[in-house]
Structure 1
Amino acid sequence: MKKWFGLMLVMSTILYGCQSSDENSEENTEGKLSVVTSFYPMYEFARQVAGERAEVSLMVSAGEDAHHYEPSAKDVAKVNEADVFVYSSEEMEHWAESLLETTENDKLVVARTADGVESAHSHEHSGGEEQEPVNIEIQGAAEHYHTGDMIKLSAVTDNGADFEHWHWYTRKSADEEWVAIPNEFSSELEYLASIDNFEVRAVLFDDNHREFAESEPVKIVIDNHGETPGHGEEEAHEHGEEEEHEHGDEAGHEHSDEHSDEEGHDHSHGEGEETNHDHEHGSAEGAESVEIIGLADHYHTGDVVTLVAELQGETDYQHWHWYSRSGENEEWEAISGQETDHFEYKNTGESFDVKAVLLDDDHNMYAESEPISVLIDDHENKDPHIWLDPVLAQEQVKIIRDALIKADPDGKEVYEKNTEAFNNELQELHEDYEAALEDAEKRVFVVQHQAFGYLADRYDLEQIAIGGLSTEVEPSPSRIAEIGDLVKEHKVPIIYYQQGANSSIAETVAAETGTKTATLFDLEVLSKELEEKDLGYIEAMRENLESLQLSVQ
């Protein structure tokens, strides 16, 4: 992919070269430094530092997204003729590295403004103090379980760690890799017993989603009293039904029936005659295809992936199952609790494939979708939104200053003076945020897009990102109820969405939960509102402060 992209840039440069030569010559005759910037915050910072001494241009223009941008031939030509190129990081501008590898410009000075900022932030956040080691014990495991039983476990720490973000993992044996259990993020686990023995462990993560402590593995023994673990699908299904009648437990019956459907059907998608029968059955019925809608280009860890399966035709069948796999060489596994055409799943940080299957009244496959890939991209586990912290923004400005001085030593005094003036404004902005937010009793704010982590860390706020607010798929009643519980728990009056983003679904959720909506600028995009109001970085951030105070009070 990178080689293809590089070849494209080279060809684009050659094709565009003649057209751009006159423009570049015209710029050079002005005697100004040529500075090309990636997206809006970099453009704004560079303009403030350069003043009238440089010609500053913006690559990602109005309405375009820096994450998914692809440089044009004109962009390539400009960088080839520029004195300075300014960008934030590869986590934000994923295309920057390939662009720079392709550029043939020996005099180009590159300002990667994230340099040194991540480590500075990490040091500030940790405060130089180390947490004491934590031991985790898993409690509640029974001597053995039957297939279809509900396994209930608790992870207990020995020193009352403040962190509350948990993940649970399973594996079949010590030779297998650990697999995250979907949608389990508390210290309590409820998990349906399968056919085979397996191991389980609990992992506690810190506020930066780094692994903080983990338990020893606990072996879960499945003993079906004479039935051999791993027996055939039909036998497992029949045995599950027998166990249900023996126990006579209503909750257990529900879970066992769910297990029989999901696990049995899951295995039927492996090798063997049953798979062929299912596919033949679907063809014989003339079933229409299934299309999955609502897929985003990528998600962040913890986002809720919200999808809808649409059958291209009509049927009375309503029994759906959703299956996932971690890669093409892995087996499909049924996802517990997903039995309607709506799929709502809080991802655990690993990309995966998913497909939807519609069953007939006899639990045979009637139709299934093509697999789709759900991409989890945490930008290499780094939050790229550095510029939303006014203190770290000052560090970015200094990096730009140094790059301009390197390219134009004669302008050192101008660049230093402009940097000092702008950073004084940023410091004043920071102090205004501190004064406005420091005494607030409610410190939680809810956003659609997890972009405000640096800002939240700086001012001791808690950002809650609500995934699943797709522009294509209406949230299901269960999802709205979940959001409602969250709103009630934290007494949240506002749901924020990014300025320039589609607000219709946020407004629907707000209406259902009795809240209101408001906007925050993430400044990823040079929006129409920024242009129409002629808002610079300082002005937009001040509007953010006013908006935040609707929740942080």
Structure 2
Amino acid sequence: MKKNRLLAISLILIVSTFLFGCQKEENSSDKKISVVTSFYPMYEFAQQVGGERADVTLMVSAGEDAHHYEPSAKDVARVNEADVFVYSSEEMEHWVDSLLKTTENDKLVVARTADGVDSGHNHGEYEHDHGDHEHDAQLEGGENVEIHGVADHYHTGDIVKLTAELEGNVDYEHWHWYTRANADEEWVTVPNQGGPQFEYEATGESFEVQAVLFDDAHNEYAKSAPVEIVINDHGHDHDDKADHEHGNEAEHDESHDHEHGEEDGHDHGHGAEDEHHEHGNDAAAGTIEIVGRADHYHTGDVVTLVAELKEEVDYEHWHWYTRTSENEEWEVVSGQESDHFEYKTTGESFEIMAVLYDDDHHTFAESEPIAIVIDDHENHDPHIWLDPVLAQEQVKVIRDAFIEADPDGKEVYEKNAEAFIHELQALHEEYEAALKDAKERVFVVQHQAFGYLAKRYDLEQIAVGGLSTEVEPSPSRIAEIGELVKEYGVPVIYYQQGANSAIAETVANETGTKTAILYDLEVLSKELQEKDLGYVEAMRENLKSLQLSVQ
């Protein structure tokens, strides 16, 4: 009897152990890893790799800027509980370092997808890799271009005016000008410099410049030796006399030390009008709204803004004020005395405010200060994901991170990643087939987001930096864009997703072009959601749009 009881107990233990093991295995397979992703492309790539085995969430939602996103306490809490955090790079998501410093999650696996990409080479918007156009043999023209007009040194804010002169006589007119900080840096194309004349506003750093002449097939015909442009402010602000002695032919307002176009972007002399601008007055503060601001600008972009008053008045005396920080005094911007503000950026972020005065020159209304953010991505183009080949490398980084966090899911993650990589490779081959025989390879964009894509398919991206779709540009700005369109013979100006507005149509009509949309995929926009476009589908739409110019 005792023996039978022991046998029964043993059988119960064996069956229980077996059932418990099955239940444990089932629970293990059902458990999803928790994945937090920074912005849209990382979100979709992670979903593709994780499939049903990963619970993937997105931090930067529609309408938010991935560059300058501020993680909330909820975001920090989510990352603290996550198994994996996926982001692209610090050039794109500047806030990641501070986010990770605030987390206390020892098990967190961090996937920096740019680690899968050789980011040592800058594929930025203005970069034009000389290697694409150099011949193995000596250039036809050799180094027989000379640059004239170089002064011994310049000050910050001076206009550097140079001329490239070719020794021989040829009919080629397609010039490019390149700059670099020093011999260890890559050459970067200077925008809007398509002829032998070069005009460039000096910022605060010395640099080298080179002129290159291309033939009709866009091969390098001849180029100059690098020339050094020395910026020397002598440790203090320069005066008008020095400006003119060292090549700055811009006129200076007698009541101001500098024009707004200089390095710090401000007029440094307070005229009598400034004395009327007191923030403690009875002005209807905040009744002016400034429209047209982009989330960020690059050096050389044109900031175009409009001050909109909420009520109709006959006053027309406007002033615009800027400052570099809250600790600085507001300074009036010369030459900006209407409700429109147009300014070519140098290299420094600043705040701006619009003020409307009455007929007695008392403040009638003023706007809240807004920030104009200059972000050159530390000379790196962060839009890696717009190259379908490099996107494959990002997917591999995510795959490996998932395997590290969840070794039991290795087979699932590898299978999912392989399928998506195959899809990305097919997308790449579609681009190659569609663009390889195109004669016209230049496309003009509103925002310099497509450098990697242009590099991959041997295209040239030209940016009309700062072109707003909320504020109609001035006639001079439209003329400038028109010259660019004429120079490159482009039929289309590309705007970012959802930006084909009436303003875009105005620019198109004035310059004789059409408009089209290119998706930069920085956000999961409402437009993408409404059209049910994923990464691959949106990139195919981009290819169709590009073929309007690249033919």
Same fold (TM over 0.5): yes
Query: Which residue among 393, 396, 403 is the counterpart of 1:395?
Result: 393
Amino acid at match of 2:543: L
Change (3 A) 1:80 1:278: closer
CA shift, 1:408, in A, is 1.7
Matched, 1:139 2:137: no
User: Which amino acid is the alignment partner of residue 40 of structure 1?
Assistant: Y
For 1:388 and 1:74, how far apart are their aligned partners in 2? 30
Equivalent residue for 1:512? 510
The 1:434–1:279 alpha-carbon spacing in structure 2 relative to 1, beyond 3 Å, is closer
- The equivalent residue for 2:216 is none
Q: Deviations over 1:297-330 (max 9, x none)?
A: 4212232111345789866776x78676767888
Q: Could you tell me how far apart the structure 1 residues matched to 2:424 and 2:358 are?
A: 62
Larger deviation, residues 503-512 vs 399-408: 503-512
Corresponding residue number in structure 1 for 2:445: 447
Task: Give, as a single letter, the amino acid of the residue that structure 2 aligns with 1:214.
Answer: E
Q: Distance in 2 between matches of 1:418 and 1:346?
A: 47
Change beyond 3 A, Cα 1:28–1:38: farther
The structure 2 residue matched to 1:164, chosen from 174, 177, 181, is 177
User: Cα gap change, 1:59/1:367 in structure 2, threshold over 3 Å: closer, same or farther?
Assistant: closer
Alpha-carbon distance in structure 1 between the residues aligned to 2:147 and 2:211: 18
Q: Gaps (5+ residues) in structure 2?
A: 1-26, 136-141, 153-157, 169-173, 182-189, 213-225, 261-266
The 5 A counterparts of 1:95-106 are 95-106=95-106
Amino acid at match of 2:90: E
- Structure 2 CA distance for aligned equivalents of residues 200 and 377 of structure 1: 17
Q: 1:390 corresponds to which letter in structure 2?
A: P
Q: 1:411 to 1:355 in 2, by over 3 A?
A: closer
Q: What is the CA deviation profile of residues 257-276 of structure 1, one whole-angstrom value per residue up to 9, with x for unaligned ones?
A: x644655999xx868xx85x
- Please report how far the alpha carbon of residue 397 of structure 1 lies from its aligned counterpart in structure 2 after TM superposition: 0.7
| Correspondence list, 1:143-158, <5 A | 153-156=161-164
- 1:334-361 Cα offsets, whole Å, 9 max, x none, are 8786565533222233334557799999
Separation in structure 1 between the aligned mates of residue 444 and residue 207 of structure 2, nearest angstrom:
27
Identical counterparts, % of pairs: 64
**Does the residue aligned with 1:75 lie in a helix, a strand or coil?**
helix
1:224-373 to 2 correspondences below 5 Å = 259-260=253-254, 277-279=272-274, 293-294=290-291, 295-308=293-306, 341-352=339-350, 373=371
Alignment partner, residue 46 of structure 2: 46
Contact 1:278 1:365 (8 Å CA) reproduced: no
Q: For 2:402 and 2:134, locate their aligned partners in 1 and report how far apart those are by CA, in whole Å.
A: 39
Structure 1 counterpart of 2:67, which letter? H
Shift of residue 151 of structure 1? 8.9
Please report the TM-score for the alignment, with normalisation by the length of structure 2.
Answer: 0.67
Change (3 A) 1:368 1:136: farther
The SS at the match of 1:119 is coil
CA contact (8 A) 1:387 1:393 kept: yes
How far does the alpha carbon of each residue in 1:398-452 deviate from its partner, in whole angstroms, 9 at most, with x for none? 1111111111222223322322222122122112111211211111212222211
Question: Comparing 289-298 with 325-334, which one deviates more in the overlay?
Answer: 325-334
CA distance in 2, matches of 1:203, 1:310: 42
Classify 1:450/1:405 alpha carbon distance in 2 versus 1 (closer, same or farther; 3 Å). Answer: same
Of residues 175, 196, 204, the one that matches 2:209 is: 204
> Which deviates more, 131-140 or 447-456?
131-140
Alignment-derived partner of residue 145 in structure 1 = none
| Structure 2 counterpart of 1:188, from 191, 198, 218 | 198
- Say if 1:36 and 1:84, in contact at 8 Å, map to a contact too: yes
Given that 1:37 and 1:43 are in contact with CA atoms closer than 8 Å, whether structure 2 keeps it comes out as: yes
1:215 correspondence with 2:213? no
Q: Distance in 1 between matches of 2:254 and 2:115?
A: 53
AA matched with 1:164: W
> Which structure 2 residues correspond to residues 23-62 of structure 1 after superposition, within 5 A?
30-62=30-62
1:524 maps to which of 511, 522, 525: 522
Distance 2:150 2:431 in 1: 46
Residues 1:359 and 1:393: Cα distance change in structure 2 (over 3 Å): same
Partner of 1:195: none
Give 1:550 shift: 0.9
Secondary structure of residue in 1 paired with 2:503: helix
The alpha-carbon deviation at position 141 of structure 1 amounts to 6.7
- Say if 2:66 and 2:523, in contact at 8 Å, map to a contact too: yes
The CA distance in 1 between the partners of 2:488 and 2:70, in whole Å, is 40
Matched residue, 1:543: 541
8 Å CA contact retained: 2:357, 2:364:
yes
Contact 1:166 1:184 in 2 (8 A): no
Match of 1:406 in 2: 404
Instruction: Give matches, 1:54-93, under 5 Å.
Output: 54-93=54-93
Return closer, same or farther for 1:104/1:270 CA change in 2, 3 Å cut-off: closer
Give 1:217 shift. Answer: 6.5
Deviation at 1:121, TM superposition (A): 5.0
Aligned-partner Cα distance in 2 for 1:141–1:381: 27
More displaced 10-residue stretch of structure 1: 429-438 or 405-414: 405-414
Q: 3-state DSSP class of the match of 1:497?
A: strand
- Match of 1:461, as an amino acid? L
Is the CA contact (8 Å cut-off) linking 2:444 and 2:462 kept in structure 1?
yes
Q: Which position in structure 2 is the counterpart of 1:247?
A: none
Q: Please tell me whether the aligned partners of residues 164 and 211 of structure 2 are also in contact (alpha carbons under 8 angstroms).
A: no
Q: Using the TM superposition, give the Cα deviation of residue 202 of structure 1 relative to its aligned residue in structure 2, in angstroms.
A: 7.0
Contact 1:136/1:214 (8 A) holds in 2: no
Provide closer, same or farther for how the CA distance between residues 437 and 479 of structure 1 changes in structure 2, counting only shifts above 3 A.
same
- How far apart are residue 113 of structure 1 and its match? 0.5
Q: Mark the runs of 5 or more structure 1 residues left unpaired by the alignment.
A: 1-26, 143-149, 169-181, 192-198, 220-228, 241-251
3-state SS of paired residue (2:119): helix
Aligned equivalents of 2:513, 2:445: Cα separation in 1: 13
* CA distance 1:106–1:323, change in 2 (3 Å): closer
After superposition, the Cα gap between the structure-2 partners of 1:365 and 1:533, relative to the gap in structure 1 and judged at 3 Å, is closer
Q: Are the counterparts in 2 of residues 152 and 189 from structure 1 also a CA contact under 8 Å?
A: yes
Q: Distance in 1 between matches of 2:160 and 2:301?
A: 25
Deviates more, 1:72-81 or 1:375-384: 72-81
- Counterpart position of 2:22: none
Q: Secondary structure at 1:85's aligned position in 2?
A: strand
Q: Which amino acid aligns with 2:115?
A: D
- Deviation, 1:474, is 2.2
